[in-house]
Amino acid sequence: MSATPSQTGGRLRAPSTWIMPVARLCGTLAVTFFGLLLVTFLIGRVVPVDPVLAVVGDRASQSTYDKAFIELGLDKPIYEQFWIYLKKAVVGDFGTSLLTKKDIAEDIRRVFPATLELATVAIIIGTVLGLPVGVLAAVKQGKLIDQIVRVVGLIGYSAPIFWLGLLGLLVFYAQLDWVAGPGRIDIAYEYSVTQITGLLLIDTAIQGQWEAFGNVFSHIILPASLLGYYSMAYISRMTRSFMLNELAQEYVTTARVKGVAEWRIIWVHALRNAAVPLVTVIALSYASLLEGSVLTETVFAWPGLGQYLTNSLQNADMNAVLGGTLVIGVIFVGLNLLSDLLYTVLDPRVRRRG
């Protein structure tokens, strides 16, 4: 007779222990993605922009208008239009951009690395500063440093990002000349760098073009710092909250009674437990930077997805707007899923409940 999972001491897992979680995960992703597609489709139908006129122009004849109307599938029932939209979106077919006359998926692949690079540098800055600042505020609860951290965080939440961007350009670029101006790279270096990953900091470093690397860094540091400040305000606030909760736990009191060094209690024991929910905070903050850098990219003329969406919206290029919106939604869902998986890995209690 073959041994059952229970007879082998639990070394083999019963299928039900992993089939159901995987099925729930796949079901959640499918429903979420379907809802995202439905929302973007409905947005495209309710915006006060005639998609036919956007294609043929307002001077086209009625016959031309009617022909384009049929070619776009707008003569079909709404459910059939959604089914066509669904099939195309699943394979990454978002149509052709009216602005660039190129495939929208190709446009997104071209501009997204700039947004990815900006958001990645920003989340690194926000995390590196936000975590220790939040821990310090929790340890010094109610004292002057705690009040300063909370005020700085409040300013980061409240101040409009475009206003901070304009102020930063005025002070650090126009007055002090500490950083480069708008754009991603000076034109003198733009055509000397071969784009391998699309991330210019990495590409210039790989090719050993350190002068171009410095120029790229000078362009990215100001917008990334502003976005990082916004992210730091959120991360530091949540870190403070989680650390206050951990420092009030019994294991901290026990460790202090046993004579464990205070720095070890704070930075090893308490922060390690607080790191579990902080993973979700950082992942969602990163997702918000990827989707919410539209104003920053506009102020700094950053050639990323945010500026692409802004230009498309201004030119009534709704296919491009909806395609970009859908990509951002997928990224947000993906990062949320990743944070859930990391949460499960870091917290054994979640695995046992699953």
Cα–Cα distance measured from residue 170 to residue 182, given in angstroms and rounded to the nearest whole number: 11
pLDDT value for 124 = 95
> Are the CB atoms for 282 and 122 separated by under 8 Å?
no
Q: Where are the domains of the chain?
A: 15-90, 104-353
Question: Closest by alpha carbon to 241, among 318, 146, 151, 145?
Answer: 146
User: Measured in whole angstroms, how far is the alpha carbon of residue 349 from the centre of its chain?
Assistant: 28
> Are the CB atoms for 87 and 302 separated by under 8 Å?
no
- Using N-to-C axis directions, what is the helix angle for 15-46 and 78-90, rounded to 10°? 120
pLDDT value for 8 = 45
Report the greatest alpha carbon distance in the chain: 87
pLDDT digits (tens, 9 = 90+) for 196-210: 888 999 999 999 999
pLDDT value for 351 = 53
pLDDT averaged over the chain?
A: 83
More confident site: 288 or 241: 241
Which DSSP state fits 103?
B
Cα–Cα distance measured from residue 323 to residue 310, given in angstroms and rounded to the nearest whole number: 13
CA dihedral 152, 156, 158, 163 (to 10 degrees): 120
Cα–Cα distance measured from residue 117 to residue 105, given in angstroms and rounded to the nearest whole number: 19
Per-residue confidence band for 86, with pLDDT thresholds at 50, 70 and 90: confident
The pLDDT of residue 325 is above 60: yes
- Mean pLDDT for 285-293 is 81
Classify domain 104-353 at the CATH topology level. MetI-like fold (1.10.3720)
pLDDT digits (tens, 9 = 90+) for 104-122: 889 999 999 999 999 999 9
pTM, to two decimals: 0.82
The pLDDT of residue 84 is above 90: no
92 to 35, 51, 253, 331: CA distances (angstroms) = 17, 20, 55, 14
